[in-house]
Amino acid sequence: MPVAPTARLKWTVGALMVAAALAGCAKKAPENPRDQARSVTVVSVAPREIEGGLAASGALVPREDVAIFPQITGDRVAKVLTDVGSWVKAGQPLVQLDDVLIRSQLAQQDALAAQQKALANEADEQANRVKGLDNAGLLSKEQIDQRRSAATAARAQARAQQAAADDIRTREGLTVVRAPFSGLIIERNVRFGDVSGVTTPLFRLARDGQVELAADVSENALDKIQPGAKATVTLADGVQVQGVVRLVSPAIDPSTKLGKVRIALPIRSDVRAGGFASASFTGFTRSALAVPETAVRYDAEGASVMVVDASNRVERVPVTTGERGGGFVELLTGPPDGSRVVEKAGAMLVPGDFVRPTPAGAHDD
């Protein structure tokens, strides 16, 4: 029996609706993210030999410096005879203090000393006149002893007055503040008219102008550096100078776990105390937690690695990098020993992605 056109149309529309419904259901079916996981090569965070140089940085400091204070206080500064950046010789005058009052005191004390010396001479003459007359009967023993005692006392008074004059003369000499040794003036805190005191030094003087680098070195690398080792020091402006390790600190800072290495530098105008510099030492090899340099990526948030967890999901972990060598970079902070990280940091991965990890070297056969 032939089917009517109307019935055939209804059947066709119904079939299309069922097919559309089935297609819609197929689109809504959830996808398993593991099925879309990307294959990546992973490496482990592990101790590795870092070959090449050892780097350290720190401040430029005088090898030996001194704060220069006046030895007498309360006097005004009459003259400032040098300035910052000047080379001075041992004993060279740096500051002249006002000595008007002290010179007046010295003149008065010299006069007293001279007067007392004259009295002592007169007393000595009186004592000399009775010499040999102890048993002559011309003067009593009491009178003779009295003259001799007066002479002794007068001489003592004369010495005391002269000592007082010498003391004032010494203080007069100290109104000129002098350099204790030859060197470079690296700091000045005195002006004309200031009153001398003991709270702030007039100058700071670097002995012989010698400045060295006090570099901070990690505890595990400190024992590999010996006095006399060569070092290339890079100044803040990029200029490099050659230095020699003078001293390796015998102690470690308990808070930073770093030790000081003093590197002697040549005397140059661009090697200035208070500046910053870095040093590199060649020929060192040491073991440190490291990953290939390709595993570290850098972005606006800093350095990081992509860690693959036990469920093969990736996570971004910030790191602090240390020294480099042999294609590896030291991790000062970051994932612990044994963690799996993506070997190629440039892989298009975002935190939370699933991956199919393959250990590095597994596909080399």
Q: Is residue 323 part of a domain?
A: yes
Q: Does 191 share its domain with 304?
A: no
Q: Does 311 share its domain with 348?
A: yes
Q: Does 225 share its domain with 279?
A: yes
Q: Is residue 15 part of a domain?
A: no
Identify the CATH number of the domain in which residue 84 sits. 2.40.50.100
Q: Does 130 share its domain with 86?
A: no
Number of structural domains in the chain: 4
Q: Does 354 share its domain with 314?
A: yes
Q: Strand, coil or helix: what is 70?
A: coil
* pLDDT at 12 (0 to 100): 54
Identify the CATH number of the domain in which residue 153 sits. 1.10.287
Q: What is the mean pLDDT of residues 50-58?
A: 78
Q: Does 170 share its domain with 184?
A: no
Cβ 353 vs Cβ 360: under 8 Å: no
Q: Is residue 9 part of a domain?
A: no
Q: Does 296 share its domain with 330?
A: yes
Q: Is residue 20 part of a domain?
A: no
User: Rounded distance, CA 288 to CA 330, Å?
Assistant: 6
Kindly report the number of other CB atoms within 10 A of residue 263's CB atom.
27
Q: Does 91 share its domain with 182?
A: yes
Query: How confident is the model over 100-114, as pLDDT tens digits?
Result: 999 999 999 999 999
Tell me the CB-side half-sphere exposure of residue 345, using CA atoms within 13 A.
16
End-of-domain residue from the set 256, 284, 312: 284
* pLDDT at 22 (0 to 100): 54
Token code pair at residue 160: 């005391």
Q: Does 77 share its domain with 204?
A: yes
Low-confidence winner among 51-60, 270-279, 287-296 (lowest mean pLDDT)? 51-60
Give the mean pLDDT of the chain. 85
Q: Is residue 246 part of a domain?
A: yes
Q: Is residue 21 part of a domain?
A: no
User: Rounded distance, CA 279 to CA 271, Å?
Assistant: 14
C-alpha to C-alpha distances, 161 to 101, 103, 109, 150, 166, nearest whole angstrom: 19, 16, 7, 16, 9
Cβ 58 vs Cβ 215: under 8 Å: yes
Q: What is the mean pLDDT of residues 161-171?
A: 93
**Longest pairwise C-alpha distance within the chain:** 189
What DSSP letter does each residue of 21-61 carry, written as one string?
HHHHHHHHSPP-GGGGPEEEEEEE-EEEEEEEEEEEEEEEE
End-of-domain residue from the set 264, 284, 304: 284
Identify the CATH number of the domain in which residue 352 sits. 2.40.420.20
Query: How confident is the model over 225-265, as pLDDT tens digits?
Result: 889 989 999 998 889 999 999 999 998 988 888 899 999 99
Q: Is residue 25 part of a domain?
A: no
Cβ 356 vs Cβ 38: under 8 Å: yes
End-of-domain residue from the set 154, 174, 194: 174
Cβ 235 vs Cβ 270: under 8 Å: yes
* pLDDT at 16 (0 to 100): 53
Q: Is residue 19 part of a domain?
A: no
Q: Name the β-bridge partners of 342.
A: 42
Q: Does 88 share its domain with 182?
A: yes
Residue 222: give the domain boundaries.
Answer: 54-64+209-284
Q: Does 89 share its domain with 195?
A: yes
* pTM (global) more than 0.85: no
Q: Does 149 share its domain with 129?
A: yes
Per the model's pLDDT, the better-predicted residue between 19 and 99 turns out to be 99
